[in-house]
Amino acid sequence: MTGAAAKPPVLQLDGIVSGYDGLDVLKGISLTVHAGEFVTVVGPNGHGKSTLLKTISGLVPLRGGQISIDGQRLSGKPHETAMLGVAHVPQGDMLFAQMSVLENLLMGAYLAPDKAVIARRLDEVYALLPKLADRRNQIASSLSGGERRMVGIGRGLMMGGRILLIDEPSLGLAPLIIDQVYGVISQLSRAGRTILLVEENPARVEDLADRLHLLDDGAIVWSGKPAELMARDELLATYLGG
């Protein structure tokens, strides 16, 4: 994104450390995401990508370092983080299975100030994802995998946040459906949404992301443009198996 470095970051991570049951998974992660940027973190499974997003949104406690949104240090409490504009689309969607598409979307708007804002956001989601409008009264458990992924993204958009955290949107989907999901993400990026996305396959974001960070064993081992990584066969072979 042109001129991104001249703008203050929406999200800033300074040396963050976090993990589970006494084990540090993230080991001093620092990165920034500026307004309107699409930043991707890639790496092998089990090396901290999902933990990174969960730590930002407050679902995994921060053990060291600092996380800031628009210069304000996060408390680590999930509801306060959401109020500052962090919208998290989790891996596997985690929908309310026995609720309708519309009810799931409305759950994302629980912090909206009034009904007019909710209605406007809902119109925006339906304009971006028209199939959800057709499925609005359908129970979430009856949707296809791709449709559930779209509902998860739509629910995140209903929060109206400053930054959208998207966790492995391609996971478990057929190639054609993955292309459709990333088509939606591309539209969001072109519309100026600020996105931090984690993904195992860097080829998915080669033509989309502004910057890419390679995560291995809880640490960033390389940063640059996606095309630069795709040209580094030794890095791909060492960290991503090809």
Assign residue 220 the CATH number of its domain.
3.40.50.300
Domain extent for 183:
4-85+161-240
Q: In this structure, is residue 109 part of a structural domain?
A: no
Dihedral (Cα; 199, 205, 210, 211), 10-degree rounding: 40
**pLDDT confidence bin for 111, thresholds 50/70/90:** confident
Mean per-residue pLDDT, 18-29: 93
Q: CA 71 to CA 158: how far, in whole Å?
A: 24
Q: In this structure, is residue 232 part of a structural domain?
A: yes
Q: Per residue in 77-93, pLDDT tens?
A: 898 999 999 999 998 77
Each residue of 21-49: b (16+ CB within 10 Å) or e?
A: eeeebbbebebbbbbbbbbbbbbeeebbb
Lowest mean pLDDT, pick from 7-11, 139-143, 177-181: 7-11
Please give the model's pTM, rounded to 2 decimal places.
Answer: 0.92
- Residue 3's pLDDT is 46
**pLDDT confidence bin for 55, thresholds 50/70/90:** very high
**pLDDT confidence bin for 113, thresholds 50/70/90:** confident
Q: CA 143 to CA 146: how far, in whole Å?
A: 8
Q: In this structure, is residue 128 part of a structural domain?
A: no
Q: CA 62 to CA 42: how far, in whole Å?
A: 21
Q: In this structure, is residue 76 part of a structural domain?
A: yes
Q: In this structure, is residue 204 part of a structural domain?
A: yes
Query: Given a cut of 90, is residue 28 above it in pLDDT?
Result: yes
* Of residues 89, 99, 88, 187, the one with CA closest to residue 143: 99
Residue positions counted in the chain:
242
Q: In this structure, is residue 185 part of a structural domain?
A: yes
- Residue 2's pLDDT is 44
Domain count, the chain: 1
